[in-house]
Structure 1
């Protein structure tokens, strides 16, 4: 007979239960299933009840109560266990079996329907493997199996047959055999087979906690560097540079005015919404003429690699007392391929700046991306994103598509999959490699009318649960739980990898890439080129 669980738990100390467990397994019956130790969440006389064994058979639902060792009755009360350590007074084993049977019928009836209406008969059998009870009016011989009849387990099958015949005569309304489907339904209600995998929403939550913890650890850098007036922090995407820059602005504002600037208009808009102190001015670089003639006690430049030209440095020079040589400033810099316009990075300007400040880095603790994303980006670009300290995530997903319409259908299917994983559309960003909404595959999506443009919502208190669409350049400096890279054509991977680098590193936990014809081949070629540069291939 099959028994669930198939092996008895180490926590089962009762030698008598272990004997019955093995005796049930030895019965040659491939249609019945025995369940060991079934708990009852509610009981009319106990906080929690327990049934030693339930046997689901074609002819009956049989409940088995096992009492091992010494059984003692005195003055109508029952005691179990050796003298001096006996438990009681308690119910008789027959009352326990009868009570457990009725409580179980009520509980399972709520899940599979009333057993009597299904014609399922039930009964119980009390077994005392070590002693023989004297016959009383409390039970019929067919309801009981003592040590002689049990015979070390050899008499169990015969005892079950006898109990079955007895109880069927008591349940004249029974309709047997009970169907295999109903028996399976009862088994699933008590001991279902399942393999529950945490959904993506729960995994995102755990990653959020890890990212938050890791990012807070970056505060140590602020404490260590407080005394240095001119700082350059370097690190790859996801190492927390923008977070540190914002926190530095808050701290410096306590001692005077702060100017926070960067090349990205959307990033500046986002930070202006966060850095609300009156002493902090946040402006994108192309609007610095609005503060011409003013100076600030502290200058903070984020994504400084986008402004690494002598012309840009001259503009910044005039905004701090003493200029860049004597003023107080912090530059955040990523020296990987994160420069959308390569002409904007002048290596001579970089050498000029670094000679005036203290360079710390590169920062090695990646606080944004999972291991899978870090490895995938490195394999295509060779960029160093640091160590993915938050740990494992989902593999990067690549989906082959033929054209924009096919891509839109694949995108809808993937978003539907995320919805089934309880991921909010607000946590999903569609990054367009082309950056043109009018020609984007997103416009062919079933959700097109409910997609928000990132430039319209950045810096606002978003409350609607909608997908967000953005160009890669507008989303630089930002991040999203899930990023879907769309509108990717071979031309976008020819001659430069900065846009691919930026797009892929925006994803905190999940990256999905739609691959139009030729993309997979080019990605493979990029991977080979990285291996050759690193000396792993010749």
Structure 2
């Protein structure tokens, strides 16, 4: 092979060295072109020597090209033999191939060239590149494909819109919350009263931001609101055990009492999301919230997300509702969908036109210190290499913040964790327990502090956490 150092402009040489004159007449000192060419030869030869696949490196030669200067080749330069110069006159003559052959002939005469692999040499210096776009750009393309999938859920809602009592069962990512929000929007905008109930405070806040006219509450918020309207005392005990009993049963008693005192406080339509988390006794009170027999009740649920204890229930049968099944995942990429499917027994279809997405990353850590360092490296790569906005990332843990080593650490390089309810600021990433994030989603999810086999990391818990990710899922596990 031939290494050719090319110098443009008018080139001169004197006792002070080499010079180049640009088109504006400015003269600049330049490095010795012959020395540069020889240095590049040595660099390439040394690089090939580091490759284990090379047992015999190819012969090489060096030369210099002065593309804008004619050289008096009769004048001898000790540092640059005239035979190794290709000048402007040579370029005009069209005899470049003859000149190259003469240079390489000398190289071949110095070294056995019959046994080196020319294809291997080409691959080493000019490898084929698989240009992979950044995750941020891939996510934008995937989002367009996932939006097309949600149109199928809207069509399903059109088909069942006239059914006033329906139980919609669907796995994570099948569009249950989207259907609940869309039904609430259409009914409330037509002037009818709508109550949308869910279990999670975070989900209630998320849905409320999308609806202007519907009442969006958790069941406990409903009990508080109704008790206060009826001027009933709503006092949460300070004692932990009494507080638990209060939220489990006393609040429902207050709701029932408020309904007796305020018979006018009813709704035309009731929609329940996260129905699997509602105890059976709650539905007795909820049915009393209907304005009349024509009032509708839609319950959306996923038995596989029942992470608060209790047995799996078929709410459509339990409440005598017309059953409907959503079995097509419209949230996750195919790779994330496959991971989610591994964790449950139900069959959730991944549409053939869903984006493939990145592979799910699973890393194991021996201890809390390694876990925090692993999280730091992943956050740095996502934000600084992949250019993902910190607001698109959520860090989930099966632990509550007060028991999480990750939350207690809070700062990872120049990234700081913040709780869901805290306002976003520069370089802050959301942190949440997976229980509080149930029903929500994020472009990128890092599920950390997973202890395989523990009571807080069952398949149901992992199913909830993993299914929150739309485009990128990273799991950080402790060694089993």
The answer on whether the counterparts of 1:262 and 1:268 sit within 8 Å (CA) in structure 2 is yes
Task: Note the C-alpha offset of 1:465.
Answer: 4.4
Residue 212 of structure 2 corresponds to residue 263 of structure 1:
no
Residue 420 of structure 2 corresponds to residue 474 of structure 1:
no
Residue 282 of structure 2 corresponds to residue 333 of structure 1:
no
* Structure 2 match to 1:10: none
Task: Note the C-alpha offset of 1:60.
Answer: 7.3
Q: Match for 2:416 among 433, 438, 450?
A: 450
Distance 1:409 1:364 in 2: 38
- After superposition, where does 1:258-407 map in structure 2 within 5 Å? 258-277=194-213, 280-289=214-223, 290-291=225-226, 292=259, 293=262, 294-307=265-278, 309-322=279-292, 326-335=294-303, 337-343=304-310, 345-347=312-314, 350-353=316-319, 355=320, 357-361=321-325, 363-388=326-351, 389-407=353-371
The answer on whether the counterparts of 1:433 and 1:488 sit within 8 Å (CA) in structure 2 is yes
* Structure 1 match to 2:246: none
Task: Note the C-alpha offset of 1:407.
Answer: 0.4
* Structure 2 match to 1:226: 161
Q: TM-score, normalised by structure 1?
A: 0.59
Task: Note the C-alpha offset of 1:287.
Answer: 2.0
- After superposition, where does 1:7-26 map in structure 2 within 5 Å? none
Task: Note the C-alpha offset of 1:493.
Answer: 5.0
Distance 2:421 2:349 in 1: 29
Note the residue ranges of structure 1 that are not aligned, 5 or more in a row.
1-29, 33-56, 62-104, 107-112, 125-138, 146-154, 163-190, 519-538
- Cα distance 1:288–1:446, how it changes in 2: closer, same or farther (>3 A)? closer
- Cα distance 1:404–1:225, how it changes in 2: closer, same or farther (>3 A)? same
Distance 2:282 2:430 in 1: 32
Note the residue ranges of structure 2 that are not aligned, 5 or more in a row.
9-21, 34-63, 69-87, 103-125, 227-258
The answer on whether the counterparts of 1:486 and 1:514 sit within 8 Å (CA) in structure 2 is yes
Task: Note the C-alpha offset of 1:480.
Answer: 1.0
Q: Match for 2:405 among 434, 440, 459?
A: 440
The answer on whether the counterparts of 2:146 and 2:355 sit within 8 Å (CA) in structure 1 is no
Q: Which has the higher contact order (CA 8 A, sep 6+)?
A: 2
Distance 1:192 1:227 in 2: 61
Q: Match for 1:158 among 95, 98, 117?
A: 98
CA shift digits 1:417-443 (9 cap, x unpaired):
112110122211111112233433242
SS in 2 for 1:342: coil
- Cα distance 1:207–1:118, how it changes in 2: closer, same or farther (>3 A)? farther
Number of residues of Structure 1 aligned to a counterpart in Structure 2: 354
The answer on whether the counterparts of 1:378 and 1:384 sit within 8 Å (CA) in structure 2 is yes
- Cα distance 1:393–1:118, how it changes in 2: closer, same or farther (>3 A)? farther
Task: Note the C-alpha offset of 1:344.
Answer: 6.7
Distance 1:343 1:116 in 2: 80
- After superposition, where does 1:200-239 map in structure 2 within 5 Å? 200-239=135-174
The answer on whether the counterparts of 1:434 and 1:440 sit within 8 Å (CA) in structure 2 is no
Task: Note the C-alpha offset of 1:122.
Answer: 2.9
Distance 1:207 1:498 in 2: 26
CA shift digits 1:304-350 (9 cap, x unpaired):
1112x431111110111236xx5312111213x21012327545x65
Residue 474 of structure 2 corresponds to residue 509 of structure 1:
no
CA shift digits 1:196-229 (9 cap, x unpaired):
2111111111122222222234221222222222
CA shift digits 1:254-293 (9 cap, x unpaired):
141100101111111111122122xx11110112222444
Q: Match for 1:430 among 395, 407, 410?
A: 395
The answer on whether the counterparts of 1:430 and 1:483 sit within 8 Å (CA) in structure 2 is yes
The answer on whether the counterparts of 1:298 and 1:320 sit within 8 Å (CA) in structure 2 is yes
SS in 2 for 1:511: strand
Distance 2:97 2:177 in 1: 73
Task: Note the C-alpha offset of 1:472.
Answer: 1.0
- Cα distance 1:296–1:344, how it changes in 2: closer, same or farther (>3 A)? farther
- RMSD of aligned residue pairs (Cα, Å): 3.4
The answer on whether the counterparts of 2:395 and 2:446 sit within 8 Å (CA) in structure 1 is yes
Task: Note the C-alpha offset of 1:237.
Answer: 0.3
Q: Match for 1:247 among 163, 172, 182?
A: 182
SS in 2 for 1:429: strand
